[in-house]
């Protein structure tokens, strides 16, 4: 690392930061784009269909349809990129980035592997080192920003279906944010800190000590709210073919549309990383007290991929909610449940557990 840094005329800290950013964000982006394929192929398998398997390089080499990603990308790239006449052009162009950037940024504080020491330096495997003072508040705040992407996309299109979709999804996001935050607050209380590395360290390597066991109610609430946060299917009120055409991205096409679609999957990756970190021990390997760095990274990636798959799985299992049912669930079920969870853990701590 030091030789690489001196070759590039950078300080080792900066070089390490650049390497981390490149690895983390490219990994998340690749995973997000692969997940568009997983979604289509997985949903096909769940519904006894086959799914996209015919895209092939030179019409010959098919790797179970993975080239579909490439084909889609090329197709989106060469589509005409137009904005409606009456749209607010600046915001219309800005919206996909407003959706995509927060979805990626949420990943910055999440440790994806064990910290290690090499040559007197301590290397932390998260883009922002632990102890930065933001901790878990950062991904939650950034997650709150994600609503701007949807809302700006909807508003700038100057389309009534788009604005309806945007309003619905922002209302859903805002109302689920409260339940989610309260369930995470209970977790902060029992951990005694809000830094993700502290939370992971407090969970230990035994699966029954992971937060999902004592905080099961909080986990259910957090998990459900993550679906509303990412606008995924049981709660995908930004879209809805039968009601509001394509919702907030009705007017979008070409690369801007693909960026909006990718933002959803990047958000999904961040959400599964959050679930893995908060409730399933992050990079902790079950039953291995001091895992090697590679093993801890593998463990984290496996957990992340599993929860990302659960997002897809649930999408193709559950029907959509009606809008009033969504609000009912958010305000009258999830919020009280997370409060009960908070009060229960506060009482438990006051009893000296």
Partner 1 sequence: MGVVVKKVELSWLDRTYVWPVMKGMGITFNHFIKQLFTRTSKRYTIQYPDMKKEMPAGYRGLHELKRFEDGAIKCVACFMCAEACPARCISIEAEEFSDLNITQGFEEKRPQVFKIDMLRCIYCGMCEEACPKDAIWLRNDYEVAAYDRLSMQYGKWDLMNTYAEADGKERITQDPMPSAPRRAIAM
The residues binding partner 1 (CB under 8 A) are 42, 44-50, 220, 313-314, 316-318
**Smallest distance from the beta carbon of 336 to partner 1, in angstroms?**
14
Please give the Cα distance from 335 to 176 (Å, whole number): 8
Q: Tell me the C-alpha distance between 240 and 262, whole Å.
A: 18
Nearer to partner 1, 49 or 332 (CB): 49
Query: Which residue is associated with the tokens 């440790």?
Result: 111
Query: In angstroms, what is the minimal distance from the CB of 64 to partner 1?
Result: 11
Report, in Å, the least distance between residue 234 CB and partner 1.
9
CB atoms within 10 A of CB 299: 24
Token duo for residue 2: 């030091």
Nearer to partner 1, 315 or 345 (CB): 315
Task: Specify the residue, 152 or 329, whose C-beta has the smaller distance to partner 1.
Answer: 329
Question: Whole-number minimum distance, CB 213 to partner 1, in Å?
Answer: 15
Closest approach, Cβ 47 to partner 1, in A, equals: 7
CB of 104 or CB of 308, closer to partner 1: 308
Cβ within 8 Å of residue 10, ≥6 positions away = 18
The answer to whether the CB of 51 falls within 8 A of the CB of 16 is no
Tokens standing for 101?
A: 């950037």
> Of 148 and 309, which CB lies nearer to partner 1 in the complex structure?
309
Q: Is 306 exposed, middle or buried (0-12, 13-18, 19+ CB in 10 A)?
A: middle
Q: Is 261 exposed, middle or buried, given 0-12, 13-18 or 19+ CB atoms closer than 10 A? A: buried
């Amino acid at each position: 690392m030091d030789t690489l840094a001196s070759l590039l005329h950078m300080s080792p800290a900066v070089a390490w930061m650049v390497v981390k950013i490149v690895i983390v964000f490219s990994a998340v982006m690749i995973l997000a784009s692969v997940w568009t394929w997983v979604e289509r192929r997985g949903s096909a398998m769940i519904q006894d269909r086959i799914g996209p398997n015919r895209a092939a390089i030179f019409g010959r080499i098919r790797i179970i349809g993975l080239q579909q990603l490439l084909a889609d990308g090329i197709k989106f790239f060469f589509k005409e990129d137009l904005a409606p006449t009456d749209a607010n052009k600046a915001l219309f162009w800005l919206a996909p980035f407003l959706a995509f950037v927060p979805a990626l940024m949420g990943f910055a504080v999440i440790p994806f592997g064990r910290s290690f020491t090499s040559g007197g330096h301590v290397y932390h495997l998260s883009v922002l080192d632990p102890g930065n003072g933001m901790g878990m508040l950062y991904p939650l705040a950034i997650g709150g920003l994600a609503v701007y992407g949807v809302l700006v996309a909807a508003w700038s299109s100057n389309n009534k279906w788009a604005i309806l979709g945007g309003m619905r999804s922002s209302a859903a996001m805002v109302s689920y944010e409260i339940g989610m935050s309260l369930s995470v607050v209970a977790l902060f209380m029992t951990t005694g800190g809000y830094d993700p590395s502290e939370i992971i360290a407090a969970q230990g390597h035994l699966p029954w000590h992971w937060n999902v066991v004592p905080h099961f109610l909080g986990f259910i609430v957090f998990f459900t709210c993550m679906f509303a946060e990412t606008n995924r299917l049981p709660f995908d009120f930004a879209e809805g073919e039968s009601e509001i055409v394509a919702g907030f991205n009705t007017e979008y096409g070409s690369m801007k549309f693909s960026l909006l679609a990718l933002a959803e999957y990047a958000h999904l990756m961040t959400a599964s990383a959050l679930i893995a970190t908060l409730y399933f021990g992050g990079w902790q390997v079950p039953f291995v007290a001091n895992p090697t760095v590679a093993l801890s990274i593998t463990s984290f990636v496996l957990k992340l991929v599993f929860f990302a798959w659960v997002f897809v799985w649930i999408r193709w299992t559950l029907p959509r909610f009606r809008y009033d049912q969504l609000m009912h669930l958010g305000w009258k079920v999830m919020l009280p449940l997370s409060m009960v969870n908070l009060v229960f853990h506060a009482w438990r701590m006051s009893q000296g557990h």
